[in-house]
Structure 1
Amino acid sequence: MSRVRVLLLNQALGPLDYRVPYGMEVEPGSIVLAPLGPRQLTGVVWEADRLAAESVGDNRLRPLVQAYDLPPLAAPLRRLIEWTADYYLAPTAAVLRMALASASALEGGRTVTEYRATGLVPERLTPQREQALERIGERQGLCRELAMAADVSDAVIRGLIKTGAIEAVEVSVDDPFPTPDPDHAPPALEAVQREAADIFVEAVRTPDFAPFVLHGVTGSGKTEVYFEAIAEALRRGRQTLVLLPEIALTEPFLKRFAARFGHEPVAWHSGLRQSQRRRAWRAISTGDAKVVVGARSSLFLPYRDLGLIVVDEAHETSFKQEDGVQYHARDVAVMRAKLERIPVVLASATPAIETRQMAEIGVYKEVRLPGRYGAAELPDIEAIDLIAEPPPRGRWIAPRLVTEIKETLERGEQALLFLNRRGYAPLTLCRHCGHRFQCPNCTAWMVEHRLVSRLACHHCGHVMPPPEFCPECKEPDSLVPVGPGVERIADEVKALFPEARTAIVTSDTIWSPAKAAEFVARMEAGAIDIVVGTQLVTKGYHFPNLTLVGVIDADLGLSGGDLRAAERSFQQIAQVAGRAGRGEKPGRVLVQTHEPGAPVISALVSGDEESFYAAETEARREAAMPPFGRLAGIIVSSEDLAEATETARLIGRTAPNVENMAVFGPAPAPLAMLRGRHRQRLLVHAARSLDVQDVIRDWLGKLEWPRGVRVAVDVDPYSFL
């Protein structure tokens, strides 16, 4: 190849053609360094017939600088990048950047100098040198590490190096990861689990696309079932990707995986250091990393020989990326499995309506686990009518729930109180003049966080100390918190049960896998009596001694115009209820609500999940809403209100008249200002059969707007803020 088309990591540019210097070998997928003006940018060689570029004569082509010594991006990954960019109306280069997510991994192998004993005994053997050689033994490491292990100074180790008793060894920093053993500790599966596992194992053996929905109640052993499919992929030497919705779940999963397979899988998430990302990326690209567990971005990594994809907690809305390339990892995972011709398992106790519909029409195969594993039974769920049984004034926990907590603690068991609201109070106002504290950058209230003594915006991150007086009327000691957050519930718990050991679990307190591991260890050791948490505790955790769950405000997620509000509330409460009674002790769930007759609450209490989902699905069908219709949000933002408003009106005025498509708006977004930018929204509603991406691409492609205006398209939106 003397001429190649290269897709550079620059969203402002399209593909460019380059000349291949004599002696350099490249192919589609090769990762290269190419000149662009005075700079040099990383890019990937692409098929010329798949990406259009400006026609340039051979004599004007600049030569590539180098081709990296790395496996090329495989054709299925290149097709996935194209599909994602096309479907979500994103720059192809922005999607490619997720595949090349570690710049340092592109460089050649790195080494570090370590030291080890040679077996020689120096002529001058002091007591410290003798101690060092004895304790070092077969150990190898950095000079400082050996000194610490031997409990001597660095100078002693350096002296031994000079005598030849310790020698230097060049070691690669890209040490291979240990390979998990598929036969390390196979579980004793029950008959229904074994039947499900056999289905997945057979799919791994068959080299073809096979999408599955693993629909099992909480505690039914879904993880053990898909572990058997991972074991089969390992036996065949192929790679597996397990997607998790939260990095806080990674650490408990790693421990569970290591217990089954003898070694931890390779982790990929935003909490990794640069060196860890480099090592993981290179091992993934060479095929040495056999099992990868990661957040949604791990979906675009360059696996050498992918044999299975598992999406755990597949219903979770956090799989939808809300900025940059606004893709849904669940749907992209299915597309990657299709392009790779491999099975994909969507595991969930409460599958999304979109997933259920695909199973209903036969596109996905549903595999069910209807009961809990072993002796565990599903918990009893009761509703507490807050109108008939209100908490005392200034309190948020109803008397019946207080009694249940007391009895649970007396039995030596653990309780969990769930409220999906961080901080102490969602609103602070002045009782004298009514002033409310609002974020200066967003149309959102400042949330009081009493533990760290600050007011914070949960949208842009702006923080401020709580003022001593009202900034409006200057009245001192007039500020009052309105409504409860988890910190306020925790304060109430401490007042009611001063002897109980309480833990608050939110993204403010569990911000890393290490913090999650610490929390799990304390729970398993019985060092926590009552957990007060947000949605972070609704999934993935298994605490056999946790027998009581109290939902403080079941109505919280039902307000607003979100078409998925009822479904999301059902999923969230069902998931948190599933934390109770996962061992031999029976579980109990009390749901506080002002509307005990609401369909969501009735379905939870009666256990009639199917009727609830049938009614929700039918309502979506009648309104032609997803999955029976299509939505796309168009979000216009600018620091200048007039520019944002005028651009939104321009887009609205020029909306094409297309059959089976309607455009609503523009209107100010519910979050009319976010991070200092004014926001307007339009909503496109179309029939399922319409290629709405092509319509929007042609429509917006003809328009021009000021440089300070951003126009983003959110295909299949999950957030309507």
Structure 2
Amino acid sequence: QAMQAVLEAGEQVLILVPEIGLTPQTRARFASRFAAHIVLLHSGMNNTHRLQGWQDCRTGHAQIIIGTRSAVLYPFANLGLIVVDEAHDGSYKQQDTLRYHAADVALYRGLQANIPVVLGTATPSLEHLRLVDDGKLIEYQLQTRPGNAKTASMQLIDARQQSTHQQTADDGARYDTGLTDALIGAIRQTLEAGDQVLIFLNRRGYAPVLLCEACGWQADCPRCDAHLTVHYNSRSQSNSYPNSSYLKCHHCDWQAYIPTVCPDCGSQNLDAKGIGTTRLSENLHAIFANPQTSKELYPIIQIDRDTTRRKDSWEHIYQRINEGKPAILVGTQMVAKGHHFPNVTLVCLPNADRGFLSADFRSPEHTAQLMIQVAGRAGRGDKSGRVLIQTLQPDNALLLKLVKDGYLSFARELLQERKMMGLPPHSYAALIRCEGKTLAATTQALKDAVGILPNAHNLAVLGPIDAPMSNKNSHYHAQLLLLGKDRQQLHRVLHHWWQPVLALPSAKYLKLTLDIDPVGW
């Protein structure tokens, strides 16, 4: 409705979405509502189409512009409204090269052009809630879901009290599916009712680590401080995926063959530990798509970066889901962001503990946002939905707060904790990263940088310390964090300090980068 008045006035509307996968359905939604020229802008397009989109924005030919974060930097002839969908999403932060947050840039462009900016989200970030408290943003709450949709009910399943479902493989061995019997029963009940199930597992691949059970050897990336992820698919050893078994690092893209014996001790007892989306899909296929175990055969649709890599693959998956037939969708965070699956009535989260146990202070916020966003995929049509959260910590105070009182109450409690600890958004951060061929050189450069800080800077200086992943792609990373209670003071210090830091003799041949308002450290 807000767009209608803007378009009638001959002005342009920019709509930002966090993922390329959201652009087709967003375009279809607005094309059915408005008789306007719609332009898509994202990195998946070729240079010719992107140049044409740039020209259409600049000349005013484009009326509705739908794009990912970089679209906020385009030139516009007559911009009248900016809408940032899923405004809390971390994808809006550009992490390398030109560092910026698209939601912040949208707010600034709105201020420059004196036009409204709408930050749409069911799970606002703590930074945006702080801006509401400071009177810099106006909060509007939608009290009801669109149409006849009702808010899905959330229920915890105590994985300590129930054994996980055991399945028999073709060779007679028993293996753990990672899902409790209660969860399997709920899935079967939903499918038999003619509805669809969404299972959220934010870990792609077959398994997160390959382990030797004889000597404890693990398949590690030779270029990163990370395990190699096992990629294996017994159901796709066909023409379409001839090389579907391999080890891969998800940080530097290093790939290797899966060894047949342990490189250290020669044992053949190599076991893929843990569950990724591919392994979970295979487990579910054995239960629900095998004629020997199921009367009805239900399709298992895997949705992650591995299955959506090809052009138009998202559109084909989306079309298959919207046929409305009973099916199980297994997906990573790609399925959590704004997708409309009207026939999904059950959402399952089999691994809800990890995010609340992370060392990253932002992890509880991001985990809760992801859980609520995934839960929002249930019951979007005429039928009511429910969400089952399988957990090993059903008495976790934060998890209980989220389930019982909802996200806003949960976020307000986190905001109060951040205030007590002096962490963002109640303070302002600058993160200096240093990259080089040795950890000693990067650490020394940051120590020298601390040494030339102004005496009366009044900032909290944390570091230098190793980065969370100190070795990545054969380069070593250290970091230095500056925290200040006043943003202007922090920026004054940086303004006079940063150029001398880059000129330090110890910084020669190293890569130093400055990140304002870092998403994580």
Residue 467 of structure 1 corresponds to which residue in structure 2?
259
Residue from 160, 179, 191 that aligns with 1:387: 160
CA deviations on 1:26-59 (whole Å, 9 max, x unpaired) are: xxxxxxxxxxxxxxxxxxxxxxxxxxxxxxxxxx
Write out the 4+ residue segments of structure 1 that deviate beyond 6 Å after TM superposition: none
Q: Classify 1:531/1:263 alpha carbon distance in 2 versus 1 (closer, same or farther; 3 Å).
A: farther
Residue 565 of structure 1 corresponds to which residue in structure 2?
363
Q: How does 1:259-338 map to 2 (within 5 A)?
A: 259-262=32-35, 265-338=38-111
CA contact (8 A) 1:251 1:513 kept: no
Is 1:456 aligned with 2:254?
no
Residue from 486, 491, 496 that aligns with 2:287: 496
1:689 Cα deviation (Å)?
Answer: 4.4
Q: Classify 1:480/1:612 alpha carbon distance in 2 versus 1 (closer, same or farther; 3 Å).
A: same
CA contact (8 A) 1:600 1:612 kept: yes
Distance 1:467 1:275 in 2: 44
CA deviations on 1:257-312 (whole Å, 9 max, x unpaired) are: 11111456200000111110111111111111111110101111111111111000
Residue 511 of structure 2 corresponds to which residue in structure 1?
710
CA deviations on 1:222-244 (whole Å, 9 max, x unpaired) are: xxxxxx22222111111111110
CA deviations on 1:439-484 (whole Å, 9 max, x unpaired) are: 1121111111113212111111111121222222232x32211111
1:512 Cα deviation (Å)?
Answer: 6.5
Query: What SS does structure 2 have at the residue aligned with 1:420?
Result: coil
Residue from 202, 205, 226 that aligns with 1:420: 202
Is 1:480 aligned with 2:287?
no
Residue from 431, 437, 441 that aligns with 1:639: 437
Query: What SS does structure 2 have at the residue aligned with 1:550?
Result: strand
Query: What SS does structure 1 have at the residue aligned with 2:139?
Result: strand
Distance 2:439 2:138 in 1: 49
Residue 409 of structure 1 corresponds to which residue in structure 2?
191
1:559 Cα deviation (Å)?
Answer: 2.8
- The TM-score, its normalising length taken from structure 2, stands at 0.91
Residue 159 of structure 1 corresponds to which residue in structure 2?
none
Residue 580 of structure 1 corresponds to which residue in structure 2?
378
Residue from 535, 559, 563 that aligns with 2:333: 535
Is 1:254 aligned with 2:27?
yes
Gaps of 5+ in 1: 1-227
CA contact (8 A) 2:13 2:64 kept: yes
Residue from 399, 412, 423 that aligns with 1:614: 412
CA contact (8 A) 1:633 1:684 kept: yes
Query: What SS does structure 2 have at the residue aligned with 1:325?
Result: coil
Letter in 2 for 1:356: L
1:659 Cα deviation (Å)?
Answer: 4.7
CA contact (8 A) 2:372 2:407 kept: no
Residue from 384, 387, 397 that aligns with 1:589: 387
Residue from 136, 140, 147 that aligns with 1:367: 140
Pick which of 680-689 and 511-520 moved more. Answer: 511-520
Letter in 1 for 2:514: V
Letter in 1 for 2:221: C
1:250 Cα deviation (Å)?
Answer: 0.7
1:373 Cα deviation (Å)?
Answer: 2.1
Residue 448 of structure 2 corresponds to which residue in structure 1?
650
1:665 Cα deviation (Å)?
Answer: 0.8
CA contact (8 A) 2:132 2:138 kept: yes
Distance 2:364 2:191 in 1: 32
1:488 Cα deviation (Å)?
Answer: 1.5
Residue 434 of structure 1 corresponds to which residue in structure 2?
216
1:706 Cα deviation (Å)?
Answer: 4.4
Query: What SS does structure 2 have at the residue aligned with 1:389?
Result: coil
Residue 41 of structure 1 corresponds to which residue in structure 2?
none
CA contact (8 A) 1:661 1:686 kept: yes
Fraction of identical pairs, as percent: 37
Distance 2:93 2:199 in 1: 27
Letter in 2 for 1:470: C
CA contact (8 A) 1:248 1:513 kept: no
CA deviations on 1:98-131 (whole Å, 9 max, x unpaired) are: xxxxxxxxxxxxxxxxxxxxxxxxxxxxxxxxxx
CA contact (8 A) 1:665 1:681 kept: yes
CA deviations on 1:77-98 (whole Å, 9 max, x unpaired) are: xxxxxxxxxxxxxxxxxxxxxx
1:708 Cα deviation (Å)?
Answer: 2.2
CA contact (8 A) 1:505 1:533 kept: yes
Letter in 2 for 1:375: N
Residue from 227, 236, 242 that aligns with 1:445: 227
Q: How does 1:598-613 map to 2 (within 5 A)?
A: 598-613=396-411
1:345 Cα deviation (Å)?
Answer: 0.2
Residue 117 of structure 2 corresponds to which residue in structure 1?
344
Letter in 2 for 1:458: H
Distance 1:489 1:658 in 2: 56
Q: Classify 1:528/1:437 alpha carbon distance in 2 versus 1 (closer, same or farther; 3 Å).
A: farther
Distance 1:263 1:457 in 2: 44
Distance 1:286 1:339 in 2: 19
CA deviations on 1:358-399 (whole Å, 9 max, x unpaired) are: 112221111111111222211111001111223146221111
Residue 696 of structure 1 corresponds to which residue in structure 2?
494
CA contact (8 A) 1:383 1:601 kept: no
1:573 Cα deviation (Å)?
Answer: 0.5
CA deviations on 1:668-692 (whole Å, 9 max, x unpaired) are: 1110111221011111111134431
CA contact (8 A) 1:660 1:690 kept: no
Distance 2:401 2:144 in 1: 18
Residue 180 of structure 2 corresponds to which residue in structure 1?
398
Residue 293 of structure 2 corresponds to which residue in structure 1?
none
Residue 520 of structure 2 corresponds to which residue in structure 1?
719
CA contact (8 A) 1:239 1:289 kept: yes
Distance 1:511 1:308 in 2: 32
Query: What SS does structure 2 have at the residue aligned with 1:368?
Result: coil
Distance 1:390 1:327 in 2: 46
Letter in 2 for 1:547: T
1:528 Cα deviation (Å)?
Answer: 6.0
Pick which of 541-550 and 360-369 moved more. Answer: 360-369
Query: What SS does structure 1 have at the residue aligned with 2:177?
Result: coil
Q: Classify 1:264/1:391 alpha carbon distance in 2 versus 1 (closer, same or farther; 3 Å).
A: farther
Letter in 2 for 1:250: T
CA contact (8 A) 1:248 1:512 kept: no
Q: How many residues align?
A: 492
Letter in 2 for 1:463: Q
Distance 1:281 1:708 in 2: 37
Residue 352 of structure 2 corresponds to which residue in structure 1?
554
Query: What SS does structure 2 have at the residue aligned with 1:492?
Result: helix
Distance 2:435 2:310 in 1: 32
Residue from 303, 325, 344 that aligns with 1:505: 303
Q: Classify 1:422/1:392 alpha carbon distance in 2 versus 1 (closer, same or farther; 3 Å).
A: same
